[in-house]
Homo-oligomer: A and B are copies of this chain.
């Protein structure tokens, strides 16, 4: 398998990205080719630091970078030679099987939509973030690809999330919940109420509106929401987990007795800390584009980059796209249009 890494994006730039690539190549022998896309001089410089001359690396030079302050769509159109665009091109022209980017999320989404197009039956792609619960994980779609989602987009997220959940996370008949304000049918915005009716009529295992407690305490397996809300959930979860552990660390170091206690219980903390650490998840697939695109965390450390490349490799193996196309086709064949039912 062949993966293209946008080697310029992310908060920590080429040093972190190239370090992650080196880690991944050492660990994942089944990666046959890793394209590092970006400024050749910078990438070579980083590779030298790691004494890395792995023959599976191919540097693809690009002269531009999409900045975090750029507008996504215009950046992709204007900066033709940006690292993210060039990386997506490698997938478009069949040289790579997947792209990984830790840069401007909107630009990666726009470049994928423009160059790879969406799958038949899908209007907008959605990011599927995988979040941990105590006993398992759930998929949150959309975690930030599309902030102006229409009801039919949310229905498509539900289908894509279910396919992903079945084929990658291993759930047989994943439960699907719609993020809303209150669990009752009548709660929510006009948009969520319309999506609620669509999901009720679908073949999905829809359990209704969900609130916070269905995320972690009594979790559903696929959480559906628009990209704005999904991104807020994702970032809030990351922030609060980091904050609680930081806080705990300070409290535990206040007295010698507490310090001893913390030492004895260290394994327990480490288990949870590892499981809630986004670096372990690495990257989230952008579902719905005709190709494989993995969105890595903006603040990607080398460990996170390595794991994003692992997610890319897994996605190449699992090939969920044909299943998404099939499920959506079946939905349209078996479900009458919604309008008459709603009026």
Q: Which of A138-171 contact B (CB under 8 A)?
A: 144, 147-148
Report whether B239 and A68 are in contact in the complex, using a CB–CB cutoff of 8 Å.
no
A181 to chain B, nearest CB (A): 5
Report whether B213 and A235 are in contact in the complex, using a CB–CB cutoff of 8 Å.
yes
Count of identical protomers in the assembly = 2
Give every chain B residue within 8 A of A263 (Cβ-Cβ). Answer: 261
Give every chain B residue within 8 A of A248 (Cβ-Cβ). Answer: 268-269, 272
CA distance A268 to B184 in the complex (A): 38
Which of B188, B189, B212, B267 is in CB contact (< 8 Å) with A236?
B212
Give every chain B residue within 8 A of A227 (Cβ-Cβ). Answer: 181
Report whether A134 and B189 are in contact in the complex, using a CB–CB cutoff of 8 Å.
no
A256 to chain B, nearest CB (A): 10
Q: Return the CB mask of A227-257 against B: 1 if under 8 Å, else 0.
A: 1110111111111111110111011101101
Closest to A270 in B: B251
Give every chain B residue within 8 A of A254 (Cβ-Cβ). Answer: 268
CA distance A96 to B266 in the complex (A): 53
Give every chain B residue within 8 A of A267 (Cβ-Cβ). Answer: 251, 255, 258
A314 interfacial contact with B, CB 8 Å: no
A264-B257 contact in complex given A232-B233, A236-B215, A247-B134, C-beta closer than 8 Å: yes
A271 interfacial contact with B, CB 8 Å: yes
Which of B148, B233, B257, B272 is in CB contact (< 8 Å) with A244?
B272
CA distance A144 to B246 in the complex (A): 29
Q: Which of A182-229 contact B (CB under 8 A)?
A: 182-190, 211-217, 225, 227-229
A69 interfacial contact with B, CB 8 Å: yes
Report whether A185 and B235 are in contact in the complex, using a CB–CB cutoff of 8 Å.
no
Report whether A241 and B244 are in contact in the complex, using a CB–CB cutoff of 8 Å.
yes
Give every chain B residue within 8 A of A214 (Cβ-Cβ). Answer: 239
Closest to A260 in B: B264
Which of B105, B241, B268 is in CB contact (< 8 Å) with A240?
B241
8 of the cross-chain contacts (CB-CB < 8 Å) are A70-B186, A148-B189, A216-B240, A232-B233, A248-B268, A251-B267, A251-B268, A261-B268
